[in-house]
Structures are given as structure tokens and as C-alpha cells.
Structure 1
Amino acid sequence: MMSAVSLPPTGPLDPVGVVLRHLREGEDVVRCAAARALAALGDSKAAPALVEALLDEDPDVRIDVMAALVQCARAEDADAIRRSLMGDPVKEVKVFAIEALGRLADGASVPLLCALAKDRCGHDVAWEDDTGMWDEWLDVQVAAIAALGAMGAGDAIETLLEARSDELGQELDAAVFNALAEISEGGVAVLAGLLRDRSAAVRAGAFRALSKARKDVLMPLSGLFAKDANAEIRQLAIGCLDAGDPLASRLALADPDAAVRRAGVAAFAASRPEIAQAALGDPDEEVKAIALEALVSGPEPLITDDLAANTTAWMASGGLRLATACATLLPAIAGLEAEGPLCEVAVDVQRPQELRIAALRSLGGFASDTTVEVLRRAATDPVRQVRAVALASLAVLSKAPENPMRPAAADLLIAAIDGRLSEPDPEARGADPEQQGVLGALGASKIEEGGAGRIVISRDGEILPADGPSGGGQEDAPESNVVEGRFPRSTLDAIQGPEPVSSEAEGEAAPDDAEDLAAGYTKSRRRRVAVDGPDDIGDDLRLIALGVAADCPGEGIEGALVESLGSGDSVLRIAAFKALAQRGESLPLSPATEAALVTALGDVEPVVRGYAAQAVAGCSADAADKLLAFLDDPDAIVRAVALRHAAATAPERAFDGLRDDSLLVRRAALESVIASGRAADLEKAMTICLEEGRADSLTEACRQSVAAHGILLSILNAEQTARRRTQAALEAIASA
């Protein structure tokens, strides 16, 4: 094993000078790495040496050297780069040379680039392929076209058009159009003319190129664009006009094309509220929606009683885009008066799903019995997206300070986690909200009371009493997921838990069957996750609730999460551990929960151990001691989590982690060493990474620590450094 190198005391090193030595003296792979490192440094001081290296005998070196010159070249290097473009037969060298000349805006290179845009120039330019095939020339041709555009070469416009129209050439419209879009002197005008081409593909390509053009390039033609008969061209004007320009109002409010008005309102309404107000009268609902969003989201929202009334009416009768925007914005516009209309929309299954989802999301800001009951019903909707948003809004309510509905919202989340939240009555679901009123349409709550019997969730999503008449008994019961109805009264109760339901009754592997657990619970039926249908709503509710309730306060919710740790379903069980790991990041966990998590550190499932380690690290005062034993865990995630938190107690183990095969573990080890702030430890860590040839770890170190970068330079500056270590150090500098 190597010991840490003893670096001589030196002043600040010149990175370029240190790396250049290896460009001149190293083996071919080292010279390549040195060239890439110089490219990363991007210092023009390296240019003379890089120009010399253009004559290197190794083509890979020449490729990397020319790529470095793209970043480092000076104007006086253009002649040498041009000679290399013509004389070096390697295609990649030519492509990088063209890019370098384009960045230098070398006017003397324009004739050569124009020639290469149309022809191989076989008499003047060397090629690896002497048969005249086009494959390698195409890349050079495209690079030449792009460089002419980057240089803004107005005198190359005709050449670009000729290259595009060559019947025997390649399809170059995209490359030519993008180049023309960068040429303010004539190129943009040519593209504008192509917007009237008979070919739809040409028109579309020209429009795409113009829409990506810089504002300063389009600005001189903005007036002409705004008055053009073509709606697409008028849209281009919007991108290069200031909001205060008189043309802005005309395009946003008076243009005959709705797409132009939409783009205009979206661009100008935020800084000109009068445009937004006027646009509310637009016949196009999309324009209305954009204007409404601008009015409400501005620094000084313009909200009136009329706006609240109109927004409510549009939500009830407007199209999907406008109604959804109204459902999202109504709380900010109408305040508490928004609750009733939002509830009506949320329970109306005849309305589009997107609209109901927007209304349910907005209801998360209202604390009332009505809202909670609406969310309860929506939480068992056949549509998964609706269920997810309803539970998320309940989570918002459960976290709102001084909210009288916090307990009710938390109880619903607990019921969902525990598998006791049932579907609303089908008759109530189909009722007409306008005839019954919101609560009448909702029906009575169906959360099972504590101590209720077991229930059966059928394959079709029906929730039936396991022992009742509709349950059918075990013999004729449908294939189902049986859920225990009892919920713990405390966290300790949750950990001790009821006696587990027997595997014979469940029809699944018992939770303590280690062999089946290790095999991924192969005896358990994999439950489908319903998206738009009612399949397995119970389990899906549990999964969603575990996610949204992770950071919701309350002992009851924590107890429900802990009870789910014992689920016989591996997906639910893992979701519960993940939720507790997330919870531990923002909320304190009880000692009993911590004990359950420590026990889970020995679980056979690697994902479970990983989440348990993460949770223990977040909640335990002596997490380092508890995780120390898991530094050798067979799973890389567990080792990384353990190392990140145990290295403070056992710093030597961080050095072992740097030799780990997993980058995840090595990254955790580096973070621990860098966080310690000990220069000697960082030097030792860098030496280990060099010894192991871990360029990726060295790169991580350089990105996180300036000192690490300096250590690499000192090692590279040493008189004798092994090739492998030199290459790894150079690769790290190149990638940092």
C-alpha cells in the first residue's frame, strides 16, 4: 500500500506550465489527457505549445490538441489552424479546426470555409478517404456552414443557399437555416422570405431557425415582421419587441390571429397590466387564461369583485384551458368565497379530470368540514391522479398551523395509510351536485371506526366486509388484499402491533418469512397500480398516502408509517421505510420509531437497509456508532449512507471507502474527508485515488475542493510520477 506523498513546499503553481510539461514529454495517452486538461483550463498561454503539438505523430493527440485550441486559440494562431485544416487528413481534426476558426471570426478563412461548404476540395485538402465518399465530408461541410454563421459572414449567404440547393448533396436545410439566422446582414431577411416557400417543411424549418435567433439579430426587421400578412412572421416580431413598443399592444390585443394574440399577451402582459385587463375580453379562451394568470401573478395583482365573479363563471362554463386556470387562481382572486365553487367542481365527475384536479389542489388552502369531506371522497376516486391530488391537499391541511381541520385531515391520511379509507357510495357519486348540494352529493363518510372488522378489497376495487354477507367468506371471496382494520393508538402500539394475520388467511407469505423476503416476496401477488381504473385502489391509496404524509406532523401519522413497516407487500413496506427516511429529515422521530429502524438495519432487503440507515442517520444522536457495523454491507447504498455518517467516528474507514468499487461509496468517503478540513487527510485521500487510478473520484474532489486541485498540480509537478497516476491526475483536471 502506498503512503501519502510528501509534497515539497512550493508557492502557487502555474497550472498551464505544469500540464504543458506532460503535453511535450508524456506517452500518447498522457499527451491526450494533457491536451484535454489544457482545454478545461482554457488559458490562451497554452496556445503556442498546442500549435506545436498539431504536428504530433499520433492522430488522437492531434484531435485533442485541436479541441483544446477551440478554447485557447489566439488570433495569430489562425494561419496554423488553417494549415492543419487543409493538411491533416483526420476528419475530427478538421471539424475542431473549423470550430476554432469560427470562434476566432477569422475573415481570411471565409473563402476556404465557403469552398468546403460546397465541395470536398480534394485538390487542396487532404482526406483519409481518397475514394471521394461523402461520409467524412458531410461532418466537415456542416461544421463549415455553422462556422460561417457564427462569424456572421454576410458575403457567404449565396454560398449557403447553393449548398442547400445542391441536388446531389446532403439534406442541409437545418444547418443552413441556423447559420442564416445568425447573419444579421441579409441572412435573417432570406429566412423571412423562405417563410413563404411552397414547401411546408421549408417554411417550418425557416420558422424554427428564426425563432431561435438572437434578439439583436431580429431587431432591425421587427417592424416589418409585425406588419407582415403571415401570422407566423408576426409572431417573430413579439420576440424582439420591448413591452413599451406601440406594436406590442397591437399584436397582443388587435391581431386577427389568436395564436399571435396569445404570444403577445404572454410576452407583454406581466409588465403591462392594462394589456392583461383588456385581453380578458378576448374571444379566445386561451388568451383570457394567459391574461388572467398575468393579472394574478404580477407584483401588484389587480383583483376586483367583477374579476372574482367572472373567474367563477368561467370556471363553471369555460373550456378546459380557461376553466382550469380559473380553478387554480380562484383562491387568490375570490378568497374564502372560492371554496363553494371549487367544491362543486371537485365532486362533479362529469367535468374533465384536469379541471377537477386543479380544483382539488386549490382546496388545500381551505379549512372546513365541507372541504375535508370533498377531499375524502376524491381520495377514493377511480382516477389515480385525482386520488393523488386529493391526498396531497389533505397533507397540506394537516400541516397548516392553527388549522381547526388538521386533526380531520390527519385522520384521513392515517386511514389511507392503514388501508381503511373506502370508496364513496356509488349512488352519491353519480348524484347531481346542483340538486343535492355539495354535502348531499358527497354522502356519509366511510372511514372505518377504530376496532372495526377486517375488509376485503376486490380485484375490481370494491371494498367489502370480510365477514359480512357481501364478503362471501373465504371460499367464494374474490382474489383480494386483506387489510387489518385496527390502527394503533400510539407509536409504541404501532411497533408492538397486533398479532400478524396468518399467511394462510392472507394467501401470501408471512412478513417474518426471511427466505421469501430475500427472494423478493415471490409468493406475493404483484398488485397493479390503477391509473384510470378502479383496480387495487386500497393498496394504491396506501402507496400515495405514504408518500404525501411523510413530512406531516403528528404521532398518529408516524404510528401509521411504522405499522406499514410490517406490511407483507414489499412495495408498500419499502415505501414506508422511504417515508420515514424523508420524515427524519424534517421532523423528530420518537425513540420507539428509532428502535424499529435500528432493527431494520439488519433486514435482508438492501433497499430497506438503505432507507433505514438514512432514517437512523437523521434521527439518532449516536447514529455514527449504530451505522459503523454497516460500512461493510454488501449493498453500496447502505455502505455509502453508513460511511457518510460514521466517518466522523472512524475517520480511517473513509480511506477504505476510497478503494470501494462503487463511485457512490467513494463519493461519500471524499465528502467526509473534505468536510473534516484536515489537509493531511485530503492529501492522503488524493494519493489513494491516484493509486487506484480513480479519475472519477479525483474529479469529484477537484469539484468540491480548491485544495484538491492544488494537490494534483503538485503531484504532476513532481519530477518522477508514474504514468498511471499522471494520466489519472490529468483526466481529473480535464473533467473537473
Structure 2
Amino acid sequence: MNAQSENLLRDAAVALLSEFAKSEYDVVRLRAIQALAALGARNSPALVEALLDDDEDVRQDAATALGQLGVEQAVPQLLENLIHDPCGEVKLACVTALAKLGAADAAPYLRTLVTGRGDEIVWDEDEYHQDEWDDWLDTQIAAIRAVGTLGDAVAIEPIVRAVMDEEAQELGDVACEALGRIGAAAIPTLGVFASSPKRRLRYHAVRALAEIGGSEARAILRKALSDEDGGVRLLAHEALMEHDPQLVEAALTDPQEDIRLAALARAGLSEPELLDRMMRDPGSRVQLALIERLDRTSPIADTDDLRWQVLDFLSTGEQPEVAAQALGLLAALAPELMTDRLKTLFAATPDQEQAERDQWAVVDALARSPVKEAAEWLQRACRSPFRSVRLKALATLGMIVTEEGRAHVNQQQGRELLLSLALSPMPVAEEKKEDTAEIEEAPRNDIQALEEAGLDVSHGGENGPTSSLGAILGHDAIAAEMQHEAEQAEEMPPLSPREQALLARATRQPKRRRVALDDDAEALEHESRMTAIRLLGEVRGMQAMLAQIVRDPDPEAAQQALGALGNAVARHGAELSMEQLAGIATDGLSTADSATALQALKLLRQAALPPLPELRGKLRAILRTGEAPFRIEAMQILCAWDESADAARELLDDPSASVRQASMRLISEMTPEEAGAVIVPFLLANPDQRILTYIGDNPQAKRNVAGELMQKLRDHDRRATWPVMIAALADLLSQPGPAV
């Protein structure tokens, strides 16, 4: 819908809702006011008139809306409600609205509310005694914020009295925030608060002074540099170091680690004395921050590089996490200089806990390495005995293969590794002695085999878009767990057979390697292959290989390949002929495995194949008797083939909510002129549903549904459903912006 028709529709809705704002039913009036606010109807007189409504909820929502929408004409009535409306919640909404509207006329009353209920202001005493809660306490906080928003310097004195009242609620934070907004006039008062014996008051006062700035505020902040509380000192240092670089060196010796971190962010790395101090800092966070500041875009050529000296020192320190991160960055930037150390690291046994942390950090750094040797060490990581390292290595491999802008040599090696995982399972070591056994393997030319299979793995291969970690691993829960383990590296659980199966496969290039034995090595091989097959769907140029795997005798491999093929077609477009895709989909639908058949249906839809007469009968049968996901896919395919929404209409009364939702969305897309007649009755029967769920972004459907709603709203016999329809209309036509 164009801007003009959308405005006309919204104007018609505003006019109708303004009528409902005068309804005899309070719930209808309330919904109408909320809808007018959602539509941004700042020019509707109904909002101001609602401040006089008999229902306090209507008055409260009207006051909130007027403030949010910036209706300055409402200031006199809002002020009247503030003074004379007995409802505390309405007063609270009026205080906030008047502040948003910059109502200077309200300042005297707001100052009064800062310290008390006020003799001129009416309150509902019965409500106070009944609820045993003084509404003024909430209003007091809102009033302090309001005078701060208005920049009312006259309010400084009542704010001080409120803060110093020993019997009052704690107001230091909100008072200092308001004084900070008032600005320079409040600096002397904040200076007094900054020397208070109360730590919390000092903290908020110093923060407000830092926000105000200026020489007068900085003079007070200098005194706070020696405050006994580290948080207060941190605020003062952060505010002053920008103007006084000499404070940086002193801050690097502060006992508070956060202050040293703030100083490090401003310190230069060219001063040997300061750099040495940072390297030897007792806090791990400071050392980790130093590592983060080092340049990662260029390799380290030799040991004279300053980065090598810093990282080499930290990698042998006593902080486990620091040592791991330093080692990882060394591996990413200087793998040739680190060969012996990395070989030792990846020869670690499962009982070496620090080795797990170090390997994980190495893989994490290799993901962003600018050098070609990164892929070689990722191959080693894929054979790690540690579950977390294997997960990280496969995730990194997937991102190298699919991410644009990656160094091409790593992408090419990544493609080869991925294909070897998908095509040929890793040889399983036989248990001979204890936990590991050496395996001899003759060199094999994978590239030649892949080219013979018709797959383009040339130097100029293209990349696909970046995949999410969940897409790479094929399971969002596992991805989330892996990320959690990265953050909580202290306690990493041992690998389970199923978890190892995700990432147990590595390249076949090394002649000798160690393979961690497992209770079910066959399951490891199988699950690793499934993960690789899923990843192939993310990469351009892999559809021919996936088509071969679809015919694999392993049903799960065929299913995963079908799903990956559909994903690849949807993501990159078809690389196979229509005849090839039709044959694959037809064969998939003929299988007895339901999961494979569902993937075949999805492929039919994603490939947008032309009508296949031999499959129409099967799709019609699925439409009648298939499970919900099958019915949805069959419906979408048939509607596309017929260029008609007839199949979707057949499922409007389907017992499955997901099927009904899919059918209504499809009707809205294909025949938007029917959307209102289809969706509104369903909405009235299911008032908990959001109407936009069934419409999508189709402008014509939105206009049709809005028209249907407004027509039914004019029917007095439908008054029981008015609140539902008003809320739906607001949801349909609401304007983006702050929540009202």
C-alpha cells in the first residue's frame, strides 16, 4: 500500500477509534485509547478528552500516550489532573508526561512533590489506608526525575532536603541523576555529596560530575582519585585521564584492576617501562586486555617482533587463561615459529586439563589467522581428544569455507577437508593396548577423486555467505553449549560418544596420527559424516556432490544430503538441471523413510520445479492424510503449480494450528483480497493470536484485513468482540517508534 492510501486508512481508523473512546463500555474505551496511541494519533482530541474519563485506567493510559506522542496542547489538562485527580497512578503518569513535554508551568508542583504530598494536591486517602502503600513514594521519584529533565535549578534545594531526610527512602541515585541533568548550577551540591560518608551517594555524585564536565567539576573529581572505594576512583580516573595523560601511568599501579584496565586502554605500547608493567600485571583481565590490543592483521616474521616478545612472555605465565590466549595468538600469527610447541600441544592426552584450554584458544585464534598454515593446525584440532576443541575446530572449518573475505588458500583446504569428511569416513583404530593406537595410512589424492566426480574444487571457487554456529553444527543447543564452554573454560566436561561424533573427523593428509579411542567409534564416524554433509549445503558448487550422497545406502546420510541440497538451492540457486532435481525429489518421495520424504518435499518447493503430473496425485493424498509438516509443504507446492490458493483454502479448517496459519499466510500472499474474510473470523475465534502472524508484509492484505475489521467494528451486534478487533486494528496499523 502506498503512502497516500496508508494515510487514508489510518485516518479512517483514527476517526473510528475516536468514536470508541467515548463508548459506554470502559474496556472498549481503554482499548481505543491504547490503539490511538499505537497509531500515533497525536492530533486526536479523544486522547485529551480521555483525561476526564470515569475510569482511572483510561486516564492513566491517556496521560502516558500524550507524553509519548508529544502533545503539548495537553499540558493544561495534564497539570489539572496532576493537582486534582485523586488516583496516584494517574498522577504518576502525568508527572512523567509533563516532564517529557517540557512543561515549565508544572515545575512548582513538581518541586512540592519532591519533598511531600503538598497541601494543594488532592490524594485519595481511602486508597492509601486500604492498600497500605503511599502512592506519593513512587510519585516522589518521578518528580525528582522530572525536575531534572526540566533543568529546574530551583529544585536543587528540595532535592537536597529529600536526600538528607533520614526517614525517607533511598534517593541518592535518582537525585544525583537529576542534579547531573540540571547541570553546572548543581556542581557545588554534587561536590558536597561526593564527600559523603555514604559510598553509594559518593559514587552517584561523582558519576554526575563526570557527565557535567568542565573545570569546576574536574577539580572535585581530582579529590575523588584518592577515594577509598575503587568504583568511585574508577569514575574519577575515566573522567580525568582524557584531559591529563600523566594520570595514566599512576593509574597502572592502582590496586583496583578496573582502573588499571581503563589506564591500559589509553596507554601507548611504545613505552618499554609501561609495557613491562602491563605484562607483569597481577590481574588476568589486564593481561588479556593487553593481548587484545595487539595487531592481528599481519603475521609475526621473527622473534624481534614486539608482539612475539609480549605473547611469548605471557604464554609461559601463571595465569592459565592468559597463557592460553597468548599461545593461541602466537599460533595464529607465527605458526612456523611455533611448530614444535604446537606439535607437543596437540599430542596431549585427555587427562591434561590445561591442554584443553590451550587447544581451544589456538583454534579460536586460527579462525582469524592471516596465514595459510592455519588450516594445517585445524586438521590437528579435529583429532583432539577434547570435545570442546573438536566442536570449535569444525565450527571454524565451516566458517572458513563459507565466509566471504577469507584467505583463499584456507578456503580451498577447508573445502577439501569438508569433502573428505562427507565422502569417506575416518578409519577407526583398533584397540590394542591402552587409550590410543597409531594408524598407518598411505597418501591419497582427494582432489583427483573429487574432480572425477564432477565437482569443481578449482582455485577460483566461490564462497557462500557466513553461516551461524548453529547452522554449522546442525543443532542450536549444541552451538549454545559450545559457546558456554568457551566462556566457562574452568570446568569442561568429558566427551560423550554422541558429542564427539559431531567433530571427530580430520583431514587424511598426514601419514601418521593418533586417534582417541571411543566406546562406539562407528557412531563417531557416522555422526561426523552427517555434520559434514550438512555443511556442504552452505557452500557453493557442492550440489552435484550432494546429489551423489542422496543415493547413499545409509538412510540418514540420504536424508541429510536432501536437506542440505534443498538449503543449497534456496541459498545459491539451482546448480543442477530441473530434470536432475525432479528425479531426486521423486525418488525421495518414494522412500519409506518419512524424514527423507519430508526433505524431498522441501526440495520440490525450494527448487520451484514446474508441475510434475506424476507427483500431483501423491501430493493430493498428502494434503488429505499427511502429518502437519507434510500438509504444509504439499499445500505450498500445489498452490505454486496451480497458481491458485485452492489448496490453501482446503486447509483453513485444518485441526493443526500451524497448518491453518500457513494456509492463511499463503492466501494473504496469493489472493490478498480474500485475507480479511479468511483471517478476521479466525482471529475472533482465537483472540490470543496476533493478526500480523497471518498476514506477513503484504500491503494489500493488510489493507483488506483492516477494512474488514473496521466494517465489523461498526456492527453493534458484535460489541462483545470489539476489544479484540480494536487491539488487532492497532497491531495492524501501529507506527514504529517508542512503546506507548
1:631–1:292 CA distance, 2 compared to 1 (3 A): farther
User: Paired residue for 2:535, among 542, 551, 557?
Assistant: 551
Q: CA deviation at 1:584?
A: 5.7
Q: Answer whether contact 2:345 2:355 (CA < 8 A) is retained.
A: no
Please give the residue correspondences for 1:257-656 in structure 2 after superposition, counting only pairs within 5 Å: 257=254, 258-266=257-265, 268=266, 279=275, 282=278, 283-284=280-281, 286-296=285-295, 306-310=305-309, 312-314=311-313, 316-318=315-317, 319-330=319-330, 333-334=333-334, 337=337, 341-348=341-348, 349=352, 351=354, 353-363=356-366, 366=372, 371=377, 374-378=380-384, 381=385, 383-395=386-398, 405-406=413-414, 409-410=417-418, 413-414=421-422, 444-445=438-439, 532-536=493-497, 542=524, 546-547=530-531, 550-552=534-536, 566=555, 585-586=570-571, 594=585, 597-598=588-589, 603=594, 614=602, 617-619=605-607, 621=609, 647-649=639-641, 650-654=644-648
Q: Which amino acid aligns with 2:226?
A: A
1:706–1:638 CA distance, 2 compared to 1 (3 A): same
**Counterpart for residue 691 of structure 2:** 698
Q: Answer whether contact 1:293 1:325 (CA < 8 A) is retained.
A: no
1:730–1:373 CA distance, 2 compared to 1 (3 A): closer
Q: Which amino acid aligns with 2:394?
A: L
**Counterpart for residue 72 of structure 2:** 75
**Counterpart for residue 688 of structure 1:** 678
Q: Secondary structure at the match of 2:381?
A: helix
Please give the residue correspondences for 1:104-123 in structure 2 after superposition, counting only pairs within 5 Å: 104-121=101-118
- TM-score if structure 1 supplies the norm length? 0.66
1:76–1:373 CA distance, 2 compared to 1 (3 A): closer
- Tell me the C-alpha RMSD between the 2 structures: 5.3
Unaligned ranges ≥5, structure 1: 1-7, 430-442, 451-488, 492-529
Q: Answer whether contact 2:381 2:389 (CA < 8 A) is retained.
A: no
1:188–1:620 CA distance, 2 compared to 1 (3 A): farther
Q: CA deviation at 1:129?
A: 0.6
Q: Distance in 1 between matches of 2:310 and 2:251?
A: 23
Q: Which amino acid aligns with 2:50?
A: A
Q: Answer whether contact 2:128 2:134 (CA < 8 A) is retained.
A: no
Task: Provide, for residues 601-639 of structure 1, a one-character-per-residue CA deviation record: whole Å limited to 9, x for no partner.
Answer: 973x8xx88766545533573599686765567866555
Q: CA deviation at 1:103?
A: 0.7
Q: Distance in 2 between matches of 1:70 and 1:601?
A: 63
Q: Distance in 1 between matches of 2:324 and 2:611?
A: 47
**Counterpart for residue 40 of structure 1:** 38
Q: Answer whether contact 1:54 1:62 (CA < 8 A) is retained.
A: yes
Q: CA deviation at 1:192?
A: 6.9
Q: Distance in 1 between matches of 2:623 and 2:88?
A: 49
Q: Secondary structure at the match of 2:22?
A: helix
**Counterpart for residue 95 of structure 2:** 98
Q: Which amino acid aligns with 1:108?
A: D
1:711–1:359 CA distance, 2 compared to 1 (3 A): same
Q: CA deviation at 1:648?
A: 3.0
1:279–1:303 CA distance, 2 compared to 1 (3 A): farther
Q: CA deviation at 1:423?
A: 10
Q: Distance in 1 between matches of 2:192 and 2:363?
A: 49
1:372–1:121 CA distance, 2 compared to 1 (3 A): closer
Q: Which amino acid aligns with 1:229?
A: S
User: Paired residue for 1:225, among 215, 221, 224?
Assistant: 221
Q: Distance in 2 between matches of 1:345 and 1:673?
A: 60
Tell me whether 1:21 sits opposite 2:19 in the alignment. yes
Q: Distance in 2 between matches of 1:544 and 1:187?
A: 65
Q: Which amino acid aligns with 1:618?
A: Q
Q: CA deviation at 1:106?
A: 2.0
Q: CA deviation at 1:561?
A: 8.8
Q: Distance in 2 between matches of 1:198 and 1:426?
A: 70
1:251–1:10 CA distance, 2 compared to 1 (3 A): closer
Task: Provide, for residues 140-171 of structure 1, a one-character-per-residue CA deviation record: whole Å limited to 9, x for no partner.
Answer: 34433333343344433444454455555445
Please give the residue correspondences for 1:233-248 in structure 2 after superposition, counting only pairs within 5 Å: 233-236=232-235, 245-247=242-244
Task: Provide, for residues 625-657 of structure 1, a one-character-per-residue CA deviation record: whole Å limited to 9, x for no partner.
Answer: 686765567866555555566543442444566
Q: Answer whether contact 1:296 1:302 (CA < 8 A) is retained.
A: no
Q: Distance in 1 between matches of 2:697 and 2:33?
A: 23
Q: Which amino acid aligns with 2:38?
A: A
Q: CA deviation at 1:102?
A: 1.7
**Counterpart for residue 53 of structure 1:** 50
Q: Secondary structure at the match of 1:134?
A: coil
**Counterpart for residue 154 of structure 2:** 155
Q: Distance in 1 between matches of 2:672 and 2:94?
A: 40
Q: Secondary structure at the match of 2:18?
A: helix
Q: Answer whether contact 2:706 2:732 (CA < 8 A) is retained.
A: no
Q: Distance in 2 between matches of 1:602 and 1:236?
A: 64
- TM-score if structure 2 supplies the norm length? 0.66
Q: Distance in 1 between matches of 2:532 and 2:249?
A: 41
Q: CA deviation at 1:377?
A: 2.6
Q: Secondary structure at the match of 2:183?
A: coil
1:72–1:259 CA distance, 2 compared to 1 (3 A): closer
1:664–1:369 CA distance, 2 compared to 1 (3 A): closer
Q: Distance in 2 between matches of 1:545 and 1:286?
A: 39
Q: Answer whether contact 1:594 1:619 (CA < 8 A) is retained.
A: no
Q: CA deviation at 1:51?
A: 1.4
Q: Secondary structure at the match of 1:444?
A: strand
1:174–1:566 CA distance, 2 compared to 1 (3 A): farther
Q: Secondary structure at the match of 1:20?
A: helix
Q: Answer whether contact 1:421 1:447 (CA < 8 A) is retained.
A: no
Q: Distance in 1 between matches of 2:379 and 2:115?
A: 71
Task: Provide, for residues 667-715 of structure 1, a one-character-per-residue CA deviation record: whole Å limited to 9, x for no partner.
Answer: 6456545655xxxx32321343223336755345787255555556655
Q: CA deviation at 1:41?
A: 2.9
Aligned length: 614
Q: Distance in 2 between matches of 1:130 and 1:577?
A: 67
Q: Distance in 1 between matches of 2:329 and 2:113?
A: 57
1:702–1:347 CA distance, 2 compared to 1 (3 A): same
Unaligned ranges ≥5, structure 2: 445-451, 455-490, 504-523
Q: Which amino acid aligns with 2:493?
A: D
Q: CA deviation at 1:385?
A: 1.5
Q: Secondary structure at the match of 1:693?
A: helix
Q: Secondary structure at the match of 1:229?
A: coil
Q: Answer whether contact 1:28 1:58 (CA < 8 A) is retained.
A: yes
Q: CA deviation at 1:100?
A: 0.5
Task: Provide, for residues 453-506 of structure 1, a one-character-per-residue CA deviation record: whole Å limited to 9, x for no partner.
Answer: xxxxxxxxxxxxxxxxxxxxxxxxxxxxxxxxxxxx999xxxxxxxxxxxxxxx
Q: Report the more deviating stretch, 127-136 or 273-282.
A: 273-282
1:563–1:398 CA distance, 2 compared to 1 (3 A): farther
1:169–1:713 CA distance, 2 compared to 1 (3 A): same
Q: Which amino acid aligns with 1:45?
A: N
Q: Secondary structure at the match of 1:45?
A: coil
